[in-house]
A and B are shown apart, each in its own frame.
Chain A
């Protein structure tokens, strides 16, 4: 399943999962995010890649004609389903191989009739693929410099967590192997980022609730078209990762045809460090938290490698945690004991109440692990947390807490209770013991999972998919599937992508962000503003009005950035090149001064029913401006007597506020300020009237 990356990585075989450097940096001390340099991450062997999921802005969903983007809170009906794994030719026949099944989840889907049809609940075969989505995916693939396939083959990628009612996601490969410029001067990055692939696929359900053995999903988002862009693991430190994510996002946004806003784009991150293997962190919604998240994950992995090294020092072998297949753990193994009786009067309330509910308390011996359960893995978390996470996800206990261990200090159990528990599993001083309490069947599952995870500690870093938590740590989500569980979707015929279709999409291709950015920088925008404009939805309008004077370009870009999002839907609706062009022309001609840009733009967008010329009139430079200004200055200065006690700077500010609005666009604010300052000092010299 895992292959080392050799020099010649044929893409005929699955890509490698193991970090190319095999020596872990075990001596590197744990340090918080923000204190490491790029060289430090290089020492750690840090390596990361991205999988960016981007929703496309289409009218309908990908494989049915339901509306895309309709999010609802209500529910008309519910459907209950279960998932069964399909065995491969390598699969096990043993009935208990479906052990996971016995704790299988009940999966409830909430349906709302406006957002789903019988396709989503897997009661109708797919309709033909949405052509709008295919075009947009091709466009993004071209911007990413990918080799386009001639025929889209829809595949089934199995997921058993219930997030898709069919149990698989329909996904098709659109393009492969490209390279894009990766230029981030502030981080010293000037190279390229390799893109492995882009696929077109359907989005999954939104999780509503996950308690015990029942998980509930909302189906509104299900079936919306997504592109998944996968990069090579070329990102060598957390800030690079963030920059890479932003770059990929900007490229999709450059098309103007992707959804924006919360949830429209999510990234999965693959991280590994030297001596380890990749772990996937799923569903990170914001770029902001990425660097800290992957930093913490890198050190979690390093700490697991330290645990492994310590276990090797102690000569602990896999047999120490081995459990026979089948049967109830505490009946077939001396490593596990039913300690319900010993703990029934416990002072630890969660435990006592569980036993009162008729649940089982189980003890598990981890031979030779003494002290390792409290080994730090993440900020505020220990190795015991890794065990608890597995139990939580796979055994599905409803109540928490459900676990205690012998390394805990202070401990929820008394010394005497620990003595009894240790005796029940014949644990010596060099052994750790874990106690878990939950319904009997779940307790059996928990015992198995604890021993399984302890066994994986001997290997180092288990292949996992983890979820990002708000504090920057990660939690176990599921075992990372081995080779992709993918096979052709026989419900859909292959879709040809002809040269003519590709050419048609090419004509609509926007400039890639880096080309755009450079153009804006040449126009006079500073790098940050140039980058933001390149990925803004109004970039097209900006290009259409084509300001040529640097100061005007800067002001227009800034004004758009300030006003359009603020005006929301209204702003977008009126913001056409036609509407804005008159303003740009007058600014360039000098008939309106640049300071008025933002206000004037705002007027144009807020009052679409009024003629631009009429709205712009008040900002136009007029011959008598200076004269009128003098009169106004005099008026206002006369009123400053009411400001007795205010400092002179405050008075000036107040006065500017009374004078400038009438002359915005007509007079240089510095000139007005200078006139006011003169008039105010003259007046104060005279004394107040």
Chain B
């Protein structure tokens, strides 16, 4: 992170800036402030742009930051100046010829960070040397190279980034890396994992997505364990697929490897938020050991063949059905030129009668419409009820147990790949790829237990959560 020191009033505007100008004070001045509430001494820090324009921020000698309201200030006296220098001394990542080579691609989010205690800034650590400083265990696992592709919060990831990421994966495979790790924000990690599963098919080496639920600057963060396990799985793991590697339970125990098309973020903040839906995870990773949980996994190969098909048509939408939904919602999408709709329907894949005409109009306009499930678990089964049968007749195509988000990215990808070939798109959509639809749901594919029930309470007392 570099700080442009050009602006001496960083973040201060309106009344606070006026006060600073009046007394000839800039950011990084050490000041003595005489105010209506007494005297305060400290280092004037930059102001966050999302904070108001009414308060000055001082860092006190004891380490605390405090805010001083502009209209309490009687005088500001400069007693020193300490410019910030965000310089991270670098040491080289130790190389070990006997270890595999791993490429870490960065998209944003902070998998590791360092702290500048003088100013309180959290600085991402990303280069191999910086990562080595934060997580030295990596040097015992592999030889690491890093490349920062973009620096976006994952909710801002989109088709543009997917294409670049897919090409970069292909490049890393051709260059001979033994595994790829992708640092990614957790909000849309499952979207990216799914789309990469389509854009980068049959990789010979593991492609492991990793992030952290709790910011990596804190001692309790899941970042280091995630990164260590992800890197291990990429460097030494036997499974060559696009996988998400995040905590199993919320305790610091093991990580899970989830297939990219079946994984989803299921809680806004829990470390254990990522879960495989409709099946069990592919493997456990813990302390230098990958333990496959499934038998049907793609093994690591020595060749360098991979099918990279980076394409995406973003005129696709997910429509989350709700009772009382009106036809005009679907009509509006069609009128605006959307080429594909993924419906997250209720129950076995249902919507109300009211929107049937809109579905018809969509079909007539050549818009492809697919059905997935709001319930997330279970199979679309549109033959069971009349509603389902009616919807089928309108040309809506069921997608078995494909997750809505996976269906959305798959449709965007398929349409991008075959813009003028509706039949091929339909064939791609209805053919299982990278496990996005399964033939069977085992009994333990859906395990959502309720708290409070005695047997569950007993179980919780026996294991570390």
Contacts and interface: CB of A to CB of B under 8 A. Distances in A.
B172 interface: no
Given A147-B37, A483-B117, A155 B63 contact: yes
B133 interface: yes
B282 to A, nearest CB: 24
A151 interface: yes
A80 B218 contact: no
Interface in B43-71: 43, 50-52, 54-55, 57, 60-69
Contacts of A97: 136
Nearest to B122: A487
B40 A108 contact: no
Nearest to B253: A80
A158 B120 CA distance: 12
Contacts of A177: 38-39
Nearest to B225: A82
B61 A10 contact: yes
B122 A158 contact: no
A628 to B, nearest CB: 66
Contacts of B432: none
B67 A494 contact: yes
Interface string A447-461: 000000000000000
A85 B61 CA distance: 23
B220 interface: yes
A150 B72 contact: yes
A18 to B, nearest CB: 15
A98 B136 CA distance: 8
A173 B66 contact: yes
Interface size class of A (residues with CB under 8 A): 35 or more
A13 B82 CA distance: 11
A78 interface: yes
Given A78-B464, A84-B224, A486 B63 contact: yes
A486 B463 CA distance: 34
Contacts of B206: none
Interface string B83-121: 000111101001000000000000000000111110011
B220 A89 contact: no
Interface string A88-109: 1101111101100000000010
Given A10-B30, A488-B65, A89 B43 contact: no
Nearest to B132: A93
Contact of A150 (B60, B69, B121): B69
A516 B132 CA distance: 61
B60 A176 contact: yes
Given A80-B251, A98-B136, A486-B120, A147 B218 contact: no
A152 B51 CA distance: 12
A123 B52 CA distance: 29
Nearest to B114: A87
A441 to B, nearest CB: 15
Nearest to B87: A89
B445 to A, nearest CB: 24
Contacts of B461: 75-78
B117 A121 contact: no
Contact of B214 (A80, A108, A122): A122
B64 A150 contact: no
A156 B65 CA distance: 11
B51 A487 contact: no
Interface in B315-356: none
B375 interface: no
A14 B63 contact: yes
A86 B304 CA distance: 38
Interface string B192-231: 0000000000000000000001111111110011000000
Contacts, number: 222
Contacts of B221: 84, 167
B271 interface: yes
Nearest to A12: B30
Given A11-B41, A147-B37, A496 B133 contact: no
Given A93-B132, A123-B250, A12 B220 contact: no
A488 B88 CA distance: 20
Contacts of A176: 38, 40, 60, 66
B457 interface: yes
Nearest to B73: A150
Contacts of A152: 66-67
Contacts of A10: 30, 41, 61, 79-80
A166 B140 CA distance: 27
A118 B269 contact: yes
Given A14-B61, A150-B69, A486 B117 contact: yes
A300 interface: no
Contact of B114 (A11, A78, A89, A196): A89
B42 interface: yes
A609 interface: no
Contact of B66 (A88, A153, A498): A153
A400 interface: no
Contact of B465 (A77, A167, A496): A77
Interface string B444-465: 0000000100000100110111
B115 A86 contact: yes
Interface string B339-378: 0000000000000000000000000000000000000000
Contact of A81 (B62, B252, B267): B252
Contacts of B129: 93
A444 B42 CA distance: 44
B217 to A, nearest CB: 5
Contacts of B38: 146-148, 176-177
Given A79-B464, A486-B117, A148 B37 contact: yes
Given A95-B139, A125-B269, A151 B132 contact: no
B67 A496 contact: yes
A157 B63 CA distance: 9
A209 to B, nearest CB: 15
Contact of B42 (A11, A125, A151, A166): A11
Contacts of B214: 122, 166
A168 B218 contact: yes
Contacts of B464: 78-80, 108
Interface in B1-46: 30, 35, 37-43
Contacts of A168: 218-219
A149 interface: yes
B465 A79 contact: yes
Contacts of B154: none
A494 B270 contact: no
Contacts of A646: none
A147 B33 CA distance: 12
Contacts of B40: 147, 149, 176
Interface in A447-506: 483-488, 490, 493-494, 496, 498-499
B134 interface: yes
Contact of B115 (A80, A167, A199, A487): A487
A165 interface: yes
A412 interface: no
A86 B61 contact: no
A176 B457 CA distance: 48
A328 interface: no
Contacts of B213: 123
A79 B133 CA distance: 28
Q: Most chain-A CB neighbours within 10 Å: which of B61, B113, B132, B139?
A: B61
13 contacts: A12-B79, A76-B461, A77-B465, A80-B464, A89-B88, A89-B114, A118-B270, A153-B67, A171-B64, A483-B117, A486-B63, A494-B57, A499-B72
Which 5 pairs show the lowest CB-CB distances between chains A and B? A151-B67, A167-B219, A147-B38, A484-B63, A95-B136
Given A177-B38, A487-B121, 13 more contacts: A77-B461, A77-B465, A84-B221, A93-B132, A94-B136, A97-B136, A113-B451, A153-B64, A153-B65, A158-B219, A165-B220, A166-B218, A173-B64
Interface of A: 10-15, 75-89, 91-95, 97-98, 108, 111, 113, 118, 121-125, 146-153, 155-160, 165-168, 171-173, 176-177, 196-197, 199, 483-488, 490, 493-494, 496, 498-499
